[in-house]
Structure 1
Amino acid sequence: MIVLEVVRVFFEILLTLAVLGLVFVGGSFLLLIAINIIEVVTGTRWRTPIAPVKLSNEMLPHVLVQIPAFNEGELAADALRAAATLDWPKQKLHIQLLDDSTDDTPVFAAAVAEQLRAQGFDIQHLRREDRSGFKAGALAAGLAKSTAPVIAVLDIDFRPPREWLRVAVPHLLADPRAGFLQSRCEFSNYRTNWLTRIQGLMLDSHYVMEQATRYRAGWLFQFNGTGGLWRRAAIEAAGGWSGDSLCEDLDLAVRAELANWHGIFLMEPAVPGLVPDQLGHWRTQQSRWSNGFVQVARKLIGDVWASNWSFRKKLSAFALILIQAFYPCAALATVSLIICILLGGVARYVPVIEFLLVLIALVATGMTLVPYLTLRRGSLWEYLVTVVSVPPMLVFMSVSNAPAIVGTLFSRGREEFKRTPKSRQATTPEVN
């Protein structure tokens, strides 16, 4: 009996620590929700975006569009065609396919690249000897072969609308300290199945509630690795792309902010892409993101703390960089709570259960309902069916990913970049 009591107390301590971690993560989301409520009640935004500059065709800067690729097949050819439809002067539009593929992707891409060159487009199909630095290494290698002052980054399955650069570039150039611009991303296969609907709900929340609100509040927010622009000067000031993290996008955004640059978030036009439509593929993506966030936290959290930022900004940055702590905390809370109930009975832990349920309900509805209604995603019944599926799925992902996250935290070795498999569902407009 004494042994069981000691075990119960031990897991109660673990449960308490896990709940505190969930409160920290959940509290950061509740703060974002509160900011939105305050803005609605007062009728004013925390920040009024700077109006875009007006540029004639002669004043438009050269833009480099970078498209990283690894074993993407015909998607690589589609991506080149889509980039060529962007409304930008041909002599100022430079497109790079950063192709690290080891399959037949280069064959598909080379043929389309040649066709586009014949139409007057500047297309570079760049191949490397190895995948050193993975996506970050490819972006850095491509950047070294261009002098364009503005860089657009697009993942292989993203299809920007024709007017994207015409809208986004003037917003970036209007703010001389804006290092990057992140556009809201849409997802073309949102309604494919229950898994894509869950992801769509979560990602709408990420962009509309998290990214947009952090921007308006003047806090650090992340570059999402696609559907965005960078100023070359900001990349260089931050030390360039780094391959020592699987989240090279967050890593560069934090270093740019430390170098006195900041980001801009743009709601419209959105840039459509794809979400994984199979559970295994989603797990691969989530595991990479989680481990990458841990690597960034281990690398830069000390620099953030030592910076001259205000305490409020540091705290908000911590909430962003440490957000993936949700997964190990949720996994630990779930396992500890089950063991505690088995050893001490349900009644003893009813207050903890009720507290967690209330926290989950507030965060889940507060973060997802407004984006769902704003973007007109469907009926209220469809929303309810989807939102109740989110917490169980997150618990599943927590238990699945937690060991790898903890392993990354204490590991000093480099991890392999595992691509998220994609289906060829992205639409590609015709090239004029």
Structure 2
Amino acid sequence: MSFIEILTLLSDGVLTASLIGLVFVAGGFLVLIGVNIFERLRGRKLGRPLRQLILTEADLPAVLVQIPTFNEPETVVGALRCASALDWPRDRLHIQLLDDSTDDTSAVAAGVIAELRDRGFHVHHLRRANRAGYKAGALAVGLAQSSAPYVAVLDVDFRPPSSWLRKVMPALIADRNAAFIQSRCEFANAGSNWLTRAQGLMLDAHYVLEQATRYRAGWLFQFNGTAGVWRREAIEAAGGWSSDSLCEDLDLTVRAEIAGWRGLFSMEPAVPGLVPDQVRHWRVQQRRWSNGFVQVARKLMKQVWSSDWTLGRKISAMPLILVQAFYPCAAVATGSLTASILLRQGDATAYAPAIGVLVALILMVAVGMTLTPYLLLRRGSISRYLATLASLTPLMIFVSLSNAPSILKTVFGGEDTWTRTPKSAVAPVNAAPAERIGRAA
């Protein structure tokens, strides 16, 4: 066997392994699409509607609203004003600004906090000497300084409607086994450019198809790190916030589920926030999420399989925990396919069936996951949908190739640091003044 033949054999083997990984990820999404088709055929959805309690004012518990921030002066004012506008008894609404900033964010926030305190709001401006544990560390420190039984987490660029707590808290209070309730997120700047439109399409699919379907089916689904309310008891039962992963939200979700809790998902009201409007910023966000998912898989996979979950539940959790395998698999598949074709002197005939299957899977997943949310949420015309859909493939290939080295490094035990995703401050067009994003809020 010649040297070229050996290289071709090795390249083909790597290609086969990476294609198996992609089929696994695609299979997880196809199952979700299948569940949605099944629901439509039977005429009703799986699971039960969220339970609701009729709560009097005296029944409403204390809620701690935590807002982590790091060097975000453009959005911190709006975050504080929006939190103070939540419709909840003032004596039971406690707001914490978890401020690790090193720029003028702290000074900007201090003025607003002083004003809110003068108006009778309970606002704590928590400043740490260092960023130990990053977001997870800040959340843990803030939690230790409050006794509130419920904890809402809002990233600094998210603006819940004033009715948010009134809408979601009854369901959380009603279900004693519920660790948290996650709200669907909207994105105020989703129409800004081609990149934000692509992210909007993917994130609508994530919330409307993936999160909601997993919840209705009784499978593991994740807290998204913002726009959710936790039961303090569940956080403590799971061992508290941990900073040994860049995805502290998924980490706590899985640990809480292992400890016997479960999550709730609420489609309405949606909580608007922002997505990165530049490719380099989006790439940073995707790299952090991908590396964080890998860290969670390394840390908790054994615990998941040794838990008392049913076999079906364990299997259903794998596509979620391992979903970020898409990026390194896509990068390796692209590189090995190119190498194999070159080693065969440009003849791609032998790979036509594999390429055909892969293209078919991509189309089924892309359309199946995005079309229903696009129509359900009335995002625009079909021509705009098709144009946005067409941008997803090159975008995903780019981020796969650019982030694969970092992800593979994490797979083999490498460490990474938590990096904030820069976002431009933009106001939602139809938002009320207290809900607008940016300094003007």
- Answer yes or no: is 1:355 the counterpart of 2:357: yes
Q: What is the aligned counterpart of 2:376 among 358, 374, 377?
A: 374
Letter in 2 for 1:176: R
SS in 1 for 2:270: strand
Q: In the TM superposition, what is the alpha-carbon distance from 1:168 to its structure 2 partner?
A: 0.6
- Answer yes or no: is 1:424 the counterpart of 2:425: yes
Please give the alpha-carbon distance, in whole angstroms, between the structure 1 residues aligned to 2:281 and 2:160: 23
Please give the alpha-carbon distance, in whole angstroms, between the structure 2 residues aligned to 1:45 and 1:376: 21
Contact preservation (8 Å) 2:327, 2:403? yes
SS in 1 for 2:139: helix
Letter in 2 for 1:141: V
SS in 2 for 1:388: helix
Larger displacement relative to structure 2 (312-321 or 149-158): 312-321
SS in 2 for 1:425: coil
SS in 2 for 1:52: coil
Q: In the TM superposition, what is the alpha-carbon distance from 1:49 to its structure 2 partner?
A: 2.3
Contact preservation (8 Å) 2:78, 2:434? no
- TM-score, structure 1 normalization: 0.98
Letter in 2 for 1:384: L
Contact preservation (8 Å) 1:158, 1:426? no
Contact preservation (8 Å) 2:66, 2:154? yes
SS in 2 for 1:221: coil
Contact preservation (8 Å) 2:63, 2:151? yes
Q: What is the 5 A alignment of 1:110-259?
A: 110-259=110-259
Q: In the TM superposition, what is the alpha-carbon distance from 1:412 to its structure 2 partner?
A: 5.0
Q: In the TM superposition, what is the alpha-carbon distance from 1:343 to its structure 2 partner?
A: 2.0
Identity of aligned residues (%): 60
- Answer yes or no: is 1:389 the counterpart of 2:404: no
| Structure 1: stretches of 5+ with no match in the other structure | none
Please give the alpha-carbon distance, in whole angstroms, between the structure 2 residues aligned to 1:281 and 1:231: 32
Report how many aligned residue pairs link the two structures.
431
Aligned to 2:271: 271
Q: In the TM superposition, what is the alpha-carbon distance from 1:423 to its structure 2 partner?
A: 1.4
Letter in 2 for 1:34: G
Q: Note the alpha carbon deviations across 1:169-203, whole angstroms, 9 max, x for none.
A: 01111111000110000000010000000000000
Letter in 2 for 1:234: A
Aligned to 1:289: 289
SS in 2 for 1:50: coil
- Answer yes or no: is 1:364 the counterpart of 2:366: yes
- Answer yes or no: is 1:400 the counterpart of 2:410: no
Please give the alpha-carbon distance, in whole angstroms, between the structure 1 residues aligned to 2:312 and 2:338: 36
Contact preservation (8 Å) 1:159, 1:426? no
SS in 1 for 2:375: helix
Please give the alpha-carbon distance, in whole angstroms, between the structure 1 residues aligned to 2:203 and 2:102: 31
SS in 1 for 2:96: strand
Aligned to 1:106: 106
Q: Note the alpha carbon deviations across 1:276-335, whole angstroms, 9 max, x for none.
A: 000000000000000000110110001001111111111111111111000000001111
Letter in 2 for 1:312: G
- TM-score, structure 2 normalization: 0.96
| Structure 2: stretches of 5+ with no match in the other structure | 436-441
Letter in 1 for 2:353: P
What is the root-mean-square deviation in Å for CA atoms of aligned residues?
A: 1.2
Please give the alpha-carbon distance, in whole angstroms, between the structure 2 residues aligned to 1:430 and 1:320: 37
Aligned to 1:334: 334
Letter in 1 for 2:121: F
Please give the alpha-carbon distance, in whole angstroms, between the structure 1 residues aligned to 2:354 and 2:156: 44
Contact preservation (8 Å) 2:293, 2:321? yes
Q: Note the alpha carbon deviations across 1:21-52, whole angstroms, 9 max, x for none.
A: 01110000000000000000001211012321
Q: In the TM superposition, what is the alpha-carbon distance from 1:77 to its structure 2 partner?
A: 1.6
Q: Note the alpha carbon deviations across 1:195-231, whole angstroms, 9 max, x for none.
A: 0000000000000000000000100001000000000
Letter in 2 for 1:184: R
Q: In the TM superposition, what is the alpha-carbon distance from 1:74 to its structure 2 partner?
A: 3.3
